[in-house]
């Protein structure tokens, strides 16, 4: 399943619509050697249109009705970039993104769907919500759930009477437990004009029975907070205005030179742009010249096979095959009451069996994406000697695979043993090394090396620079400069250039943000992208160190724990895309701003929490300060999704080694079945800071940190007197 041939060309997929999700699955099963695939999506989860009304009605959970695109890409060995495309330039073969540097492509495919138009309705931007993007609409439903379900019956206006509008009306009626007063406003004389008269009259009857009002020949021209106005001047009371109007294309496409007069991408029967043959498009965003195809998920699904085949053929300079749309197909409209209406040609009927059939079809489709098999990650040992083999087996029962990110570093015990032969007087064991350069000025240096645990090299570059400078900031120093050693994956010159460009742009942007300069670097070819960064800092004494903690001080942790577990789960295909999104958002926030605040409060000790986990870094503080610590495990801030993964016994490979210090921990909560206790050993990539501060100031410090975006900053325990002869201990 994995391509061993270095990538030569870049296929970039814009939008995680139905066609691209299926295409990724096809290329995952049958990779094209030498092709690097990238998906850029503004959301890591794509809704499946067939289940959309069921999701709104509450029949399906978010996970059941969404494709996890991050996970799909990982399985298909494709790069995933979480961002919005804001411009396409076919001439330079570049895409602009809303928050990252540009992306180059050799072949491009676009499957970004459409959104209901609101251009002809005054006030729609402020007082109406479009059913797409679905994530925004789901947010609206959540925010307004009390009103939508109100017993007094809120007034919901659905603007647009196509199949989508009708299905939405049934779903919202169910969601409101029958309470909402729903009206469908339709500019045409009939609802669902695309259906046959007999199906239409069946749908009309069901709507009437459910008390859903239809207002035909009513073109909505204005909306506000409490009413809507239709052409002709009639006004209706309305609490919620929902747009399910005609599909409109994304405005940014207008400047691409790829569109027809309606703003959609103009394609030929091979799903290829008419002007630029190396650009393909499918689904709602694409329109075949000279034909007006209905906007429906069914077409996006059906086009996937032709799209994948034609992209493959185009790259291999073989003839392409046309997409031939089906004239008619079976449509199943759920009525959100355990029944569905089936329609084909002139005929329509409604029954509970049809709803069951719809569920089977939709669930089977989604199983293609939820039941992906990930190869088992195992440590490869190839030792001949039987004694060594036994030893390797013992280790491999504990360590099932080696983690990336900060989990790939060597454990603290092994590291100290390995360095024990060196002259200790030449070494420093604080976060960064301190070199005096003039009387009162010092230079701090630290080095970190991590390999990419995500496929998006831009996000990786940002995280790598945050991770490397964390040691400098933990000592209260200013960032000065950096040297970068980049491991560039084997690839063609073009692809290598693109990898270097994006990684270095991210690193350089990160350095700019800290006021630091890039001094130089070095590259090496490797299997995997990795960055080693020498971080230089400068300071006037005194520095923040690990040695100043005093009894009664509070322990404050600035950011949530659990990134090691999430990275380990991701490698096994067990992490949810939205949990990884949250984790990456935390990692991309550096400790730069936090340190400014921390210094203002004159904290007594500080360290960053990275590979040795909270416990390892706290032990460094209490050993240097000659104190004990008491942790309140129930106060630990935790990243979303981590508990569930610990329950599945997922942990980072280095967590095993981080347990070397368990003999220094005592207390009732010291229990390996306690999920919070296990979190203490989890390595953090670009983790937060742990500081000790007098109890009078800790609440204000946490408040100020939360105000600038460290939303989980918390007191997690306190420092106590050293009570035992045996040295520093941690109580839990
Ligand atoms: C209420 C409702 C019910 C429906 N029910 C059905 C049904 O039962 N069956 C059916 O066949 N059709 C149904 N449809 C129609 C269906 O939703 C669309 O036709 C279908 O989703 C189009 O699929 P697509 O693959 O073209 O794009 P989409 O499924 O819309 O996917 C496009 C993706 O691209 C992403 N994207 C958008 N812009 C950007 C950007 N600039 N950069 C990066 N990513 C971007 C979006 O987040 C999205 O994930 C329904 C529509 C509605 C409104």
Q: Which pLDDT tens digit goes with each residue over 192-204?
A: 988 888 999 999 9
Contact 146, 48 (CB under 8 A): no
* Full strand arrangement of the beta sheet holding 85-89: 85-89, 94-97, 103-104
State in Å: Cα 572 to ligand 1 middle: 29
Establish whether the linkage from the previous residue to 133 is cis, with ω within 30° of 0: yes
Indicate which atom in ligand 1 lies nearest the CA of residue 252: 41
Whether 295 lines ligand 1, by a CB cut-off of 6 Å, is yes
The helix/strand/coil state of 531 is strand
Phi, psi (5° rounding) for residue 75?
-65, -40
Residue 379 has pLDDT above 60, yes or no: no
Whether 577 lines ligand 1, by a CB cut-off of 6 Å, is no
Residue 409 has pLDDT above 90, yes or no: no
- Domain covering 431-544: architecture: 2-Layer Sandwich (3.30)
Segment 470-494, tens digit of pLDDT: 999 999 999 999 999 999 999 998 9
Chain Cα centroid distance, residue 8: 27
Q: What is the mean pLDDT of residues 508-525?
A: 91
For residues 662 and 366, which has the higher predicted lDDT (pLDDT)? 366
Mean pLDDT of the residues in the chain: 90
Contact 141, 57 (CB under 8 A): no
- Rounded CA separation 308/463 (Å): 33
For a pLDDT cut of 90, what percent of the chain falls above it?
Answer: 76
pLDDT confidence of 433, banded at 50, 70, 90?
low
Indicate which atom in ligand 1 lies nearest the CA of residue 50: 8
Residue 114 has pLDDT above 70, yes or no: yes
pLDDT confidence of 418, banded at 50, 70, 90?
low
Indicate which atom in ligand 1 lies nearest the CA of residue 165: 1
Q: What is the mean pLDDT of residues 127-142?
A: 95
Select from 19, 88, 164, 175 the residue to mutate for testing ligand 1; criterion: most ligand atoms less than 8 Å from CB: 164
Nearest CA to ligand 1 atom 23: 297
Residue 427 has pLDDT above 60, yes or no: no
Nearest CA to ligand 1 atom 38: 112
Whether 84 lines ligand 1, by a CB cut-off of 6 Å, is yes
- Rounded CA separation 677/246 (Å): 54
Q: What is the mean pLDDT of residues 5-9?
A: 88
For a pLDDT cut of 70, what percent of the chain falls above it?
Answer: 90
The DSSP secondary-structure symbol of 270 reads: T
* Domain spans in the chain, listed from the N-terminal domain onward: 9-114+250-326, 115-248+328-373, 404-421+546-732, 431-544
Whether 16 lines ligand 1, by a CB cut-off of 6 Å, is yes
CA torsion sign, 431 to 587 to 537 to 535? positive
State in Å: Cα 4 to ligand 1 middle: 34
Nearest CA to ligand 1 atom 53: 164
Whether 38 lines ligand 1, by a CB cut-off of 6 Å, is no
Residue 459 has pLDDT above 60, yes or no: yes
Lowest mean pLDDT among 43-52, 293-302, 395-404, 508-517: 395-404
Whether 68 lines ligand 1, by a CB cut-off of 6 Å, is no
State in Å: Cα 17 to ligand 1 middle: 6
Indicate which atom in ligand 1 lies nearest the CA of residue 20: 25
Beta bridge mates, 525: 488
Select from 17, 141, 280 the residue to mutate for testing ligand 1; criterion: most ligand atoms less than 8 Å from CB: 17
Q: What is the mean pLDDT of residues 664-687?
A: 90
Q: What is the mean pLDDT of residues 515-539?
A: 91
Residue 262 has a pLDDT of 92
Query: Topology of domain 9-114+250-326, per CATH?
Result: FAD/NAD(P)-binding domain (3.50.50)
Residue 400 has pLDDT above 90, yes or no: no
Give domain 404-421+546-732's CATH number out of 3.40.50.150, 3.90.650.10, 3.90.1150.10, 3.40.50.300: 3.90.650.10
Contact 218, 230 (CB under 8 A): yes
pLDDT confidence of 380, banded at 50, 70, 90?
very low
Residue 385 has a pLDDT of 39
Query: Topology of domain 115-248+328-373, per CATH?
Result: FAD/NAD(P)-binding domain (3.50.50)
Domains 115-248+328-373 and 404-421+546-732 share a fold: no
């Amino acid at each position: 399943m994995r391509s061993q041939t270095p990538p030569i060309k870049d296929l970039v997929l814009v939008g995680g619509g139905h066609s691209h999700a299926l295409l990724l699955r096809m290329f995952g099963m049958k990779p094209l050697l030498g092709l690097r695939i990238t998906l850029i999506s503004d959301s890591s989860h794509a809704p499946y249109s067939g289940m959309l009304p069921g999701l709104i009605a509450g029949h399906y959970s978010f996970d059941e009705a969404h494709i996890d695109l991050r996970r799909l890409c990982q399985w298909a060995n494709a790069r995933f970039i979480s961002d919005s495309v804001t411009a396409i330039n076919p001439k330079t073969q570049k895409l602009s993104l809303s928050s990252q540097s540009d992306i180059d492509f050799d072949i491009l495919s676009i499957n970004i769907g459409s959104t209901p138009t609101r251009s002809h309705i005054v006030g729609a931007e402020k007082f109406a919500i479009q059913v797409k993007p679905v994530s925004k609409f789901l947010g609206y439903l959540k925010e307004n759930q009390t009103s939508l379900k109100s017993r007094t019956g809120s007034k919901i206006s659905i603007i647009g009477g196509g199949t989508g509008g009708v299905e939405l009306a049934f779903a919202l009626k169910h969601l409101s437990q029958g309470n909402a007063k729903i009206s469908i406003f339709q500019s045409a004389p009939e609802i669902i004009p695309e259906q046959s008269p007999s199906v239409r009259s069946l749908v009309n009857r069901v709507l009437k029975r459910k008390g859903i009002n239809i207002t035909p020949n009513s073109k909505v021209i204005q909306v506000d907070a409490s009413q809507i106005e239709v052409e002709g001047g009639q006004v209706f009371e309305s609490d919620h205005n929902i747009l399910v109007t005609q599909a409109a294309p994304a405005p940014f496409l207008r400047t691409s030179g790829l569109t027809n007069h309606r703003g959609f991408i103009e394609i030929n029967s091979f799903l290829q742009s008419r002007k630029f043959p190396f650009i393909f498009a499918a689904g709602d965003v694409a329109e075949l010249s000279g034909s007006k195809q209905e906007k429906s998920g069914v077409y996006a699904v059906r086009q996937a096979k032709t799209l994948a085949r034609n992209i493959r053929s185009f790259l291999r300079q073989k003839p392409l095959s046309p997409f031939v749309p089906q004239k008619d197909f079976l449509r199943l409209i759920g009525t959100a009451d355990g029944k569905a209406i089936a329609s084909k040609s002139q005929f329509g009927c409604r029954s509970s069996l049809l709803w069951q059939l719809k569920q089977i079809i939709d669930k089977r489709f989604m199983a293609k994406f939820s039941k992906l098999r990930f190869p088992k990650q195992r440590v490869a040992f190839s030792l001949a000697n039987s004694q060594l083999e036994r030893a390797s087996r013992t280790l491999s029962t504990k360590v099932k695979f080696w983690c990336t990110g900060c989990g790939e570093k060597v454990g603290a015990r092994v590291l100290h043993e390995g360095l024990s032969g060196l002259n200790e007087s030449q070494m420093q064991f604080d976060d960064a090394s301190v070199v005096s350069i003039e009387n009162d000025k010092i230079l701090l240096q630290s080095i970190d090396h991590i390999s990419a645990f995500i496929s998006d090299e831009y996000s990786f570059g940002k995280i790598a620079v945050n991770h490397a400078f964390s040691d400098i900031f933990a000592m209260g120093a200013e960032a000065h400069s950096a040297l970068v050693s980049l491991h560039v994956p084997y690839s063609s010159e073009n692809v290598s250039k693109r990898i270097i460009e994006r990684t270095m742009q991210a690193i350089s942007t990160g350095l700019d943000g800290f006021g630091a300069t890039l001094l130089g670097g070095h590259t090496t070819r490797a299997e995997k992208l990795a960055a080693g960064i020498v971080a230089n800092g400068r300071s006037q004494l005194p520095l923040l160190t690990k040695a100043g903690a005093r009894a009664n001080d509070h322990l404050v942790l600035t950011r949530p724990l659990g990134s090691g577990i999430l990275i380990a789960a991701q490698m096994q295909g067990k992490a949810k895309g939205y949990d990884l999104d949250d984790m990456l958002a935390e990692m991309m926030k550096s400790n730069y701003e936090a340190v400014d605040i921390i210094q203002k409060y004159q904290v007594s000790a500080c360290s960053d929490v990275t590979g040795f986990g909270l416990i390892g870094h706290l032990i460094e503080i209490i050993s240097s300060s000659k104190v004990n610590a008491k942790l309140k495990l129930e106060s630990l801030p935790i990243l979303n999704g981590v508990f569930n993964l610990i329950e599945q016994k997922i942990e980072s490979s280095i967590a095993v080694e981080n347990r070397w210090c368990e003999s220094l921990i005592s207390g009732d909560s010291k229990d390996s079945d306690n999920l919070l206790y296990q979190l203490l050993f989890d390595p953090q990539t670009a983790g937060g800071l742990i500081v000790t501060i007098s109890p009078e100031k800790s609440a204000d410090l946490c408040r100020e940190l939360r105000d600038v975006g460290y939303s989980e900053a918390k007191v997690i325990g306190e420092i106590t007197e050293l009570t035992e002869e045996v040295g520093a201990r941690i109580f839990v």
